[in-house]
Amino acid sequence: MDARRVELQRTVDALDATLQIARALGGETDLDLILGLVAKRGRALVSARALVIEREQDGAMLIVARAGELPKGLMGQRVDLQDSVAGAALRTLTTQRLEKGPNQARFERHGLGRRGISASAGLVVPLVFRGKGHGALIAIDRLHDGPAFSAGDQRLLEAFAASAATAIATAESMQADLRRQRLAAAEQERARWARELHDETLQNLASLRLGLAAQLRDPRLEAITDAVNETVAQLEREIGSLRALITDLRPAALDDLGAQAAIADLVERARGRGLEVDLAIDLAYEQGRESARHTTELETAIYRTVQEALNNVLKHGAARRAVIEITEDETTLRVTVRDDGQGFDPTLTTDGFGLIGMREWAELVHGTIDIDSSPGRGTTLRALFPGQRRDRPDRLAAQ
């Protein structure tokens, strides 16, 4: 085959690989699957001995996919962002060659070399989507005519990386959309239950109580007064717990009065259950420093975070006291919930959904949750949320 035909054939291969990714994406929202496919096809495309995908997370590079000859246990490992070759590719948004200049040393000292991978040559191609680096493809050692990759290989892998980056970003945003839909649906369902319980059950109970109380004043009923009295008291307790349940489901205060009022209400109820709670809350809108409320999504995320954290303190903490601090500056909202209880090991998995739900809310609004706890030392939960205001200034109902 002459050089042109080879070149053409490879371009067709590249298109084919790209198409496969696009097709997989059509029916697939599983990010890990997409990443795995990108690794496999990318490796085949340039006949690499191995290919690794790294993505930036919390200031480090995380190994998220792999294909080919590699040591076991790589997935989920971290690599330095600052001094690794992938870090350089991400900063400059240009392909780096492993065999060039200081890259070999970077690879060995700071990059995959530290994870037991050896490379004589390689291409580190940034995954760029909308002008932003989302990670890097690292192709190691060409199997035939290698180990260095040709300029043609580089062009191919770069073209492939461009569509792979789109595929990854799309899968990610689809995942976020799905999460958003699921959380929104659950929240709507809660609101519906809250309304129904309020409009039906609570009102019925309340009128029953009123009716009974009125009958109590009838002298003919003297004989059974005690029984009726007891029933009234029981009804009152039922009404109380139903009210609490309704507020838990979706507090009207959150929509009508905003996060601050709804959280103050949560704290009151926790105090009612015997926990000492210090609440320091300073939200810009509530204090009149901003004219627009945060989005419903963000307000709900803040509320659900505090609610679950407080529930956990009450349920698991065996704590005497909890301290809640909520502050915000121009960009960021900070929520801290600290207790002096028995603590736990946050690295252990549990079958609870509370913390998972909390993290889902945080991810939805691009926030982070950090839990600092160990047995015997209490628990501190820190959440950071980027501020996100509604388009339209909105007045809260009168408090």
Ligand X SMILES: Nc1ncnc2c1ncn2[C@@H]1O[C@H](COP(=O)(O)OP(=O)(O)O)[C@@H](O)[C@H]1O
Positions that interact with Mg ion (CB under 5 A): 312, 354
Residues forming a β-bridge with 188? none
Question: Are the CB atoms for 129 and 167 separated by under 8 Å?
Answer: no
Instruction: State residue 120 phi and psi, 5-degree precision.
Output: -90, -35
What lies within 8 Å, CB to CB, of 307 at 6+ separation is: 248, 266
- Of these partners, Mg ion, ligand X, none, which one is at the site of residue 192 (CB under 5 to 8 Å by kind)? none
Min CB(316)–Mg ion separation in Å: 7
341's contact among Mg ion, ligand X, none, with CB below 5 to 8 A by partner kind, is: ligand X
Q: How far apart are CA 122 and CA 143, in angstroms?
A: 11
CB 223 within 8 A of CB 272: no
Within 58-118, where are the H helices? 85-92, 103-110
CA distance 271 to 162: 55
- Judged by CB under 6 A, the residue of 344, 360, 361, 367 near ligand X is 344
Nearer to Mg ion, 346 or 354 (CB): 354
Alpha-carbon gap, residue 248 to 257, rounded angstroms: 15
Are 370 and 382 within 8 A, CB to CB?
yes
When CB distances are held under 5 to 8 angstroms depending on the partner's kind, the choice from Mg ion, ligand X, none that residue 344 binds is ligand X
Q: Does 42 participate in binding ligand X (rule CB under 6 A)?
A: no
Determine the length of the chain: 399
Q: Could you say which of 315, 320, 366, 377 contacts ligand X (CB under 6 A)?
A: 315
Task: Report if residue 38 touches ligand X, rule: CB under 6 A.
Answer: no
Taking CB under 6 A as the criterion, the residue among 103, 305, 312, 336 binding ligand X is: 312
Can residue 355 be called a binding residue for ligand X (CB under 6 A)? yes
Complex with Mg ion: residue 73 or 352, whichever CB lies closer: 352
CB of residue 345 to ligand X, shortest distance in Å: 9
Using CB under 6 A, pick the residue from 316, 321, 359, 390 that binds ligand X.
Answer: 316
Residues that bind ligand X (CB under 6 A): 308, 312-313, 315-317, 339, 341-344, 350, 352-355, 379
